[in-house]
Amino acid sequence: MPTERLPMRKIYEILRLKYDCRRSIREIATSCGVGKSTVSDYLLRFKAAGLKWPLPSDMDETGLTRRLFSDQVVDSSAAGHLSTPDWTEVQRELRGKHVTLALLWQEYKERQPNGMQYSWFCQQYTQWRGKRDLVMRQDHRAGEKSFIDYAGQTMPIIDGLTGEIREAQIFLAVLGASNYTYAEATWSQSLPDWIGSHVRAFVWFGGVTELLIPDNLKSGVDKACRYEPVINPTYHDLATHYQTTVLPARVRKPKDKAKAEGGVLLVERWILARLRHHRFFSLDELNREIRNLLEILNNRPFQKLAGSRRSLYESIDRPALRPLPTTAYQFSEWKKAKVNIDYHLELAGHYYSVPHALVGKVVEVRYTENTVECLFKGQRVASHLRDLQKGKHSTIKEHMPPNHKFYAEWTPERFQHWAAKIGPAMSEITGRLLTGRQHPQQAYRSLLGIFRLGKSYSEPRLEAACRRALAYETISYRSLESILKNGLESRPLPLESKEPAPVQHHNIRGADYFQLREEYSC
């Protein structure tokens, strides 16, 4: 850092406290209201200049400053005779990894041996940056950050068949060092669209930055917190796949994502505003126009700097980006599920097996369009092909207990024993369910639900409902629940009716048909 320039009065006081009063550097700094490093630097310069205390009576402020800073140029007229670095190029170089002002100054001195000394070099660069913009700017290293957000403005798309207008959301991502911008339209800001937009942005950039800086959108951040935000597990999975890190911007701290805010403004002004008179009838049509205007935006020259977003991207960001993995990320979702006593867990109405030792445990389920993975304490314990058939089971034999038996307290015999206490109809239904599945354990879940109906509605009513279900061959938990819920178990069965038998004819459906339709249409 350049040394703080002090007036003659303070320099004199520093020297007086040191040589007359024998005070320490800490005490001098406190007394004079300056930093300890500034005091140390002035004392070192005083010795290096060969000056003696007390100072000569004829030495004024200009003379003292010239002696203390003989390695620097003090006045602006003299500075003009030195070779001034290209500060724009210095700023561009500083965006490279591990590049410092000290390194750039050394390279400058190799080219210009009589050029500025280091402290003056730093001071001149700081002044140049201050003149460019009075607003605080963040320094972004090459390949370090991607800023991600949605534009506040949407774009209307007309359904060609119905004339209905849907509003498309505008996703954008901006590279921190070069301001290279990507934008696209999606139907929503939901998790699938959010993840898909990231994958396509990475392809557009040709690589991945070290950090992703999103706003606290619910699709990306489950729980916003200034210190420990909770990242959505699918978003975290995406970051793991691409070997990057998600670092959400702090809540109500717009400067944390100033690049994204600036990118939103540019996209709205230079892309969306130009499309305001266009009529679009599909998302693809809108994205083609956005892609064409993106090329213009990224190739547009900067106003205050040389080059464009694309030229900076090609020279700075692109070489520093992490390479893309061999395969693109496949969208996946996560949920937690408790393993039932039949060592299966439920996902969208289908049942998938896990090792029987995990009965009663809560596992994480990661599922894609084609696969289902079950993880316990971070370790994968089961993997299945995705099956959309509801009520069916996907069972791996290795997950079963030895000899197709479950723990001692859960056996087919025990279910039969419970059923016998309720009645013969319940026993028959239990037997049918146990023998009607590929493995008896697959019936345990249904049977537990049926037994629970006996507690809710009473066992006599459950037995009556079982008789009715057997008469109509509708043996299932849902059927029994519907009978009990609607009080149908008290109605007489067809064989118990005292009314004369109706005329039988193949063209006559009879009352039973319509009664059955009435009962099960509930």
Q: Could you read off the pLDDT tens digit of each residue along the chain, which spans 522 residues?
A: 445 667 777 787 788 878 877 778 887 887 777 788 788 888 888 887 788 888 887 777 777 777 777 654 434 344 444 567 777 777 777 766 667 777 787 778 777 777 777 877 887 787 777 665 544 344 567 888 888 888 888 899 988 888 889 999 999 998 888 889 999 999 998 888 999 999 999 999 999 998 888 876 655 454 444 433 446 788 888 888 898 888 776 554 555 456 657 778 888 888 888 888 888 999 999 999 999 999 988 888 877 677 888 888 888 888 889 999 998 888 888 888 999 887 889 888 898 999 988 888 899 898 888 899 998 877 889 999 998 888 788 888 888 776 544 444 567 788 888 888 888 888 888 888 888 776 666 677 788 888 888 888 888 888 888 888 888 888 888 888 888 888 888 888 765 544 555 555 555 555 555 555 555 554
Residue with tokens 């008896």: 440
- Chain CA centroid to CA 144, Å: 17
Dihedral sign computed on CA atoms, order 257, 261, 262, 263:
positive
Give the list of residues 6+ apart from residue 115 with CB closer than 8 angstroms, or none.
Answer: 82, 83, 85, 108, 109, 121
**Can you point out the beta strands (E) in 160-270?**
165-175, 181-186, 211-214, 221-223, 230-231, 245-246
**182 phi and psi, to 5 degrees?**
-125, 140
Quick one: residue 126, left, alpha or beta (phi over 0 = left, psi -120 to 50 = alpha)?
A: alpha
Indicate the Cα dihedral angle 433, 435, 439, 444, nearest 10°: 30
pTM of the prediction?
0.51
Ordered alpha helix ranges (H), 20-100: 25-32, 36-48, 61-68, 76-79, 87-94
With H, G, I as helix, E, B as strand and everything else as coil, classify residue 82. Answer: coil
Q: Do the beta carbons of residue 47 and residue 41 sit within 8 Å?
A: no
Dihedral sign computed on CA atoms, order 396, 398, 399, 403:
positive
Q: Do the beta carbons of residue 173 and residue 182 sit within 8 Å?
A: yes
Give the pair of three-digit tokens for residue 451.
Answer: 């037994």
- Of 319, 311, 314, 400, nearest to 356 by C-alpha is 400
Residue with tokens 């087919």: 412
Residue 138's identity, in one-letter code, is Q
345 has which bridge partners? 352
Q: Do the beta carbons of residue 454 and residue 477 sit within 8 Å?
A: no
For the packed helices 87-94 and 101-111, what is the interaxial angle rounded to 10 degrees? 140
Give the pair of three-digit tokens for residue 448.
Answer: 């537990």
- Chain CA centroid to CA 254, Å: 18
